[in-house]
Amino acid sequence: MGSKRNARAETKLVEQAEASSDSELDAEELYLSSDDDADAAVGPAPEDGSTSDDADDESEEGSEQDSEEEGGSLDDELDRAVVDYIADRGGTDDPAETSGRPPGEPGEAEVAETRPVDPGSDSSEDERPNRNTIGNVPLQWYKDEEHIGYDKEGSKLIKRERRDRLDALLARNDSGKEWRTVYDEYNDEEIVLSKEEMQLIQRIRAGQFPHIEVNPYEPEVDWFTRETEIHPLSSAPEPKRRFIPSKWEEKKVVKLVRALRKGWIKREKKDESEEPPAYLLWQDDGMVAEKTATGLSYIPAPKPKLPTHEESYNPPKEYLPTEEERAAYELQEEEDRPQFLPQAFDSLRKVPMYSNFIQERFERCLDLYLCPRTRRKRFDIDPESLVPKLPKPRDLQPFPSALMLRFRGHKGKVLSISVDPTGQWLASGSSDGSLKLWEVRTARCMHTWALGGPVHCTAWCPNNALRILAAVVDKKVVLLPSGTGTEEVEAAAVQALKLTPAASEGDSKLAHWQARDDGQGVDIVHQHLVKSVTWHGRGDYFASVAPTGNTQAVLVHQLSKQATQNPFRKNRGRVVRVAFHPAKPFFFVATQNHVRIYNLAKQALAKKLIAGGGITSLAVHPTGDHVIVGSEDKRLAWYDLDLSAKPYKALRYHTYALRSVAYHRSYPLFASSSDDGSVHVFHGMVYQDLLTNPLIVPVKILRGHERVDHEGVLDCAFHPTQPWIFTAGADGDVCLFCN
């Protein structure tokens, strides 16, 4: 039904073909356009039919009959509808339809009359006699005329009255033939296509041969075979030369015979497919040659791995993959996944062929001749032998091992702590601007100073007769009487902190000494932000570090004279920490990558230690011969000053940057704290004889602080007399670990 509808929509057919003798089309193309175009096309022309523009056209002859030939020569794009062939058939083959046509349409009756078909005729001309004789001229020329052209007699063919759309609709509804009626503009007539013709069109549109009789798959008749026939095609008699022995052949035979006789040509034994015989290749045994013929050592190819239980055709059940493992295997990329999954078959006869066998052998072959070979030494090392032999930590007691007290009270991170020389008091400075004084035994806060800025460093004066506390706030170093001593000590401290007029008015280029607002203590105002302060062992001198201070980065202050001096004139890099030698007049200056040791007496550089990695902290051994340095690259370096400028041991065990390092004053202990929230305590024994290297043994990892803002333990300090350690955390607590 669908095809019928399509056919109805198409009223205009352009046919380009030659009709064969028995009115069959060899090849045709049909161009179908819409109904409306046909309506619009109206067409006579004033000019005469013989004025054709196509020079090569047969219709040029001017004869009336020839015009049908134009179908074969017309260009595709020609806008004219030619339905000659179909018109011809439509008019004649279906007499029933013609008779059934209403009398109001005389054109069709005329068509039927004017086109007699001579079935015997061979000519294609006969089949499509046109009523119109204008020839191959544009139909627009007749557009405004009353007639469409001329008949054979030369009388005008008057245009039929056009049906309006209503009529067309009615006709379409009334008659079943309307949908296969085609309007022939050239002859101004309507043609009803027969059923056969409709089939023809449908077949063409479907891309099939138009005629159902044509069989495209006829059995091929091999007229000209490849096989040589035994009988000659020609019956010509055999020439004489075929019966006479050839002279040349005879000569050749003679030649060959002679060659054979003389042994020039040897006859090959045809079937010599026997294997060459094997023989005893190796005479003697037991000799194993290490070198090959090239003189290079022979490297045998590694043997493939021997199969394990997994590869068995019937492995133990536990070797078989679970569902999840199988799914995971499927998900893996083909290159990543292991070669095969263990499989189990309950009987040997069910084992299938292994499809990768040849592939694997091939790969082995490739390995054998393509892979570079080297001899590698295989170490069979017991991993325990790699572990250094160290004494057990429990043999190295005492060392801090358990969290004993927690000093709570700071609202911000505790940036620094310092234990007083007696070990009774603890000072801690925090980022909330407070400096607190704690009693160690009770963890009670005895005093709080609000210093108005983060307290980056605190340090007790080692001089027990003064009990002064130094702290660093912004650009100031604050000296405070701690108020922990006896009255005499208090008085001495007040006396010491009483500013002399010289000091207060003195040279303020480096630092300005001034009394604090509350009258207690002294501020030493620097020109740059101060980060740390350290006391000399005797408690008179102390040094402050202002890393941004350039040439004034390190200033040494004298308490007794209330004077400040700048020991260095040159800037040797950003100074991070400084320290005094406990006994000798040496001064340690840690810049980011080096530690310089100056001889203060000689005013000269004594040694330069190479560290690197951003030093954050520095501690000097009580003997003064060893230094530990903590750096941002998570490394703790132990320097033996007698040995070299490079670390005696560099240990990397923290997972984040080191924040502080500390030596115990009397016990052979040292510790490091880091941003990973842990404090590592080491046993660091230094021997008196110079031959024995220091013994470093890690003894304890202390964990008591939480990480806050990527900061862990910011400072650590040992108790001066006990094997205890205080740690200051970013979580605002100070912890005391005891043995």
Partner 1 sequence: MGQKRKRGQAGNAVQYITRNQALKKLQLKLSEFRRLCILKGIHPREPKKKTQGANKTYYHLKDINYLAHEPLLVKFRDAYAYEKKIRKAKAKKNRDLAERLLARKPKHRIDHLVKERYPSFVDALRDLDDPLTMVHLFATLPAEKALSIPAKMVHASRRLAMEFQAYVVRTNALRKVFVSVKGFYYQAELMGQAVTWLVPHNLAQMLPTDVDYRVMLTFLEFYQTMLQFVNFKLYHMLGLKYPPVMDARLEQAAAGLAAIMQDLAKPAIQAGAAEPASGAANPDAAKRLKTLPQKLKELQQAEVSGAEPMEAGNDADVAGGLAEDDEAEAAAEDSENEELGDIDSGPTSVAGGAVGVNVDNDAEVCEKLFAGLVFFLGREVPREQLLFVIRAFGGTAAWDGEGSPLSENDESITHQVVDRPTQGHRFLSREYVQPQWVFDSANFRVLVKPELYAPGTAPPPHLSPFTGPDEDDYVPDYLQELRKLQEAAKAARLRSQGLEQDRFVGEEDEVAAGAGPADADVDSVEAAEKQYAAELTRELQAANADEAEQTSDEDNEGEDEQQLIVPKAAAKTDEAAEEEAAMKNILMPRKTKKLYDSIQKTRSAKRARVEKLQQKKQALASARKKQ
Q: Does 313 bind partner 1 (CB under 8 A)?
A: yes
* Minimum CB distance to partner 1, residue 644 (Å): 17
Site residues for partner 1, 608-667, by CB under 8 A, read 649, 651-653
Task: Note whether 594 and 633 are within 8 A (CB).
Answer: no
Q: Looking at beta carbons only, is 512 or 700 nearer to partner 1?
A: 700
CA dihedral (358, 361, 366, 371) in degrees, to 10, reads 150
Q: Does 358 bind partner 1 (CB under 8 A)?
A: yes
Closest CA to 65 of 1, 4, 151, 185: 151
Dihedrals phi, psi of 308, to nearest 5 degrees: -105, -175
Q: Of these, 268, 323, 324, 709, which contacts partner 1 (CB under 8 A)?
A: 268
The yes or no reply on residue 369 touching partner 1 (CB under 8 A) is yes
Residue 468 or 636 having the CB closest to partner 1:
636
Neighbours of 452 (CB within 10 A): 13
Of the listed pieces 369-377, 416-424, 542-550, 591-599, which binds partner 1 according to CB under 8 A? 369-377
What minimum distance in Å lies between the beta carbon of 624 and partner 1?
Answer: 24
Using the rule CB under 8 A, is 256 a contact of partner 1? no
Per-residue DSSP letter, 383: H
Residue among 56 and 324 whose Cβ is closer to partner 1: 324
Nearer to partner 1, 234 or 283 (CB): 283
- Between residues 315 and 433, which has the closer beta carbon with respect to partner 1? 315
Cα–Cα distance between 611 and 27 in angstroms, integer? 96
- Can you tell me which of 346, 487, 488, 518 binds partner 1, judged by CB under 8 A? 346
In the complex, the smallest distance separating the C-beta of residue 642 from partner 1, rounded to whole angstroms, is 21
Q: What are the Cα distances from residue 543, in Å, to 151, 265, 558?
A: 131, 113, 9
Name residues contacting partner 1, limited to 276-305 (CB under 8 A): 276, 278-282, 284-289, 292-296, 299-301, 303-304
Closest of 5, 1, 40 to residue 179, by C-alpha:
5
Touching partner 1, residues 665-684 (CB under 8 A) = 680
Per-residue binding letters, 214-253, with partner 1 (x by CB under 8 A): ----------------------------------------
Structure-token pair, residue 556: 């040494």
Shorter beta-carbon distance to partner 1: residue 125 or 633: 633
Q: Which is nearer to partner 1, 247 or 266 (CB)?
A: 266
- 511 burial via Cβ count (<10 Å: 0-12, 13-18, 19+): buried
Retrieve residue 600's tokens.
């203060």
From the list 468, 555, 641, 699, which residue makes contact with partner 1 (rule: CB under 8 A)?
A: 699
| Rounded Cα distance, 316 and 295, in Å | 49
Per the DSSP assignment, residues forming a β-bridge with 468 are 481
Residue 478 neighbours by CB under 8 Å, 6+ apart:
451, 470, 471, 472, 516, 521, 522, 523, 524
Closest Cα to residue 58, out of 47, 70, 49, 46?
Answer: 70
**Interaction with partner 1 in 700-719: which residues (CB under 8 A)?**
701
Nearer to partner 1 (CB atom), residue 215 or residue 294 = 294
Among 249, 318, 330, 334, binds partner 1 (CB under 8 A): 318
Distance between CA atoms of 427 and 616, rounded to whole angstroms? 21
Residue selected from 173, 225, 235, 355 as contacting partner 1 according to rule CB under 8 A: 355
- Asked whether position 349 contacts partner 1 by CB under 8 A, the answer is yes
Q: Which residues within the stretch 390-449 sit at the binding site for partner 1 (CB under 8 A)?
A: 390, 392-393
Q: Does the footprint of partner 1 cover residue 316 (CB under 8 A)? A: yes
Planar angle of CA 576, 579, 582, nearest 5 degrees: 165
Per-residue interface string for the shown chain with partner 1, residues 19-48, x marking contact by CB under 8 A: ------------------------------
Choices 238-246, 389-397, 510-518, 637-645; region in contact with partner 1 by CB under 8 A: 389-397
Rama region for 461: left / alpha / beta (φ>0; ψ in -120 to 50; rest): beta
* C-alpha–C-alpha distance, residues 66 and 125, integer Å: 7
